[in-house]
A and B are shown apart, each in its own frame.
Chain A
Amino acid sequence: MRFAVIVFPGSNCDADMYYAVQDQLQAEVTYVPHTATQLNDIDAVLIPGGFSYGDYLRTGAIARFAPIMPAIIDFANNGGLVLGVCNGFQILTEAGLLPGALHENKDLAFICKDVQLTVANPNTPFSNRFEKDEVITLPVAHGEGNYYCDAETLAQLEANHQIVFRYQDNPNGSVADIAGICNERGNVLGMMPHPERAVEAILGNTDGQRLLSSLLQ
């Protein structure tokens, strides 16, 4: 299985993601720059956290029009696995691959801490190593992780089991405690918490390793 880590100007979790896949999953991984226009021999796309294009305009708004994005959208529409973390989640909503939007945390603070999440749907390619309603811990680090969607969209998310992770103690004001959602087909996941920062026992947490290794199944 071959992973791609997309690198935008301002991505800053790309090296962590690369390391998590290469050293912890022991899978093949390559960086793909924002200027590329094709994804060759890629089985899963990872869109890392950071501040692509300085978060100018809105988080993810400029990245959505980067040269690589049409290839990612095609890849996703053909059923390819796409995981967007933090800024990656913001980019996926801006690109229309996931519904809703992310905006400022309700208390305006940048939140950087471990949070507990409930696994709401373990039947996705990203969560199949977890049990339903299992509580896991992952770090968050964001200023704009406040997920918003309208009531109709939320009802669809609930009905289709697209809410994959929920906060136990909602830190940012997200609708319905949403920490991560997938698309209807289940092949695109966006989440604010950082699995790539929780991949080693020596650093105290391997829940992120379990999440990423779900992709290998």
Chain B
Amino acid sequence: MYLAKIYVTYKPSILDPKGESIKAALHRMDYSQVENVTMGKYFELQLAADTKDVDAVVKALCDQLLVNVNMETYRYEIEEVEMA
């Protein structure tokens, strides 16, 4: 089977209020070297071993549901894994 690991974050042009809030807390904790924090989402999808064109499938489901491409960007990795 396949394991798709999908990482979703805001586009750089959009304010990430959660990331900003975390950064402010880190600065209060004296981690002044932290220059930027981005908070995003992480998905793991297991896909059947006989999935055809798994890359296209993952990209399509990201574009259709997992990601709002108006404001988010994503990347993914696909691994072949043994059945658990």
Chain A residues in the interface with B (C-beta under 8 A): 57-58, 61, 65, 93-94, 99-101, 103-108, 146, 148-150, 173
Contacts and interface: CB of A to CB of B under 8 A. Distances in A.
B66 A100 contact: no
Given A65-B65, A104-B17, A150-B13, 14 more contacts: A57-B65, A61-B68, A93-B70, A94-B68, A101-B68, A101-B70, A103-B14, A103-B71, A105-B17, A106-B17, A146-B15, A146-B17, A148-B70, A148-B71
Contacts of A107: 17
B14 A61 contact: no
Interface SS of chain A = loop
B15 A149 contact: no
Contacts of A149: 70
Enumerate the 3 nearest inter-chain pairs by beta-carbon distance, A residue then B residue, closest first: A101-B70, A101-B71, A104-B17
Contacts of A103: 10, 14, 71
B18 interface: yes
Contacts of B10: 103
Contact of B66 (A57, A94, A106): A57
B70 A100 contact: yes
A133 B3 CA distance: 54
A174 to B, nearest CB: 11
Given A57-B65, A61-B65, A106 B70 contact: no
Contact of A104 (B13, B18, B66, B68): B18
Contacts of B18: 104, 108
A61 B17 CA distance: 20
A148 B14 contact: yes
Nearest to A64: B65
B60 to A, nearest CB: 14
Nearest to A149: B70
Interface in B54-84: 65-66, 68, 70-71
A143 to B, nearest CB: 10
Nearest to A96: B70
A100 B13 CA distance: 14
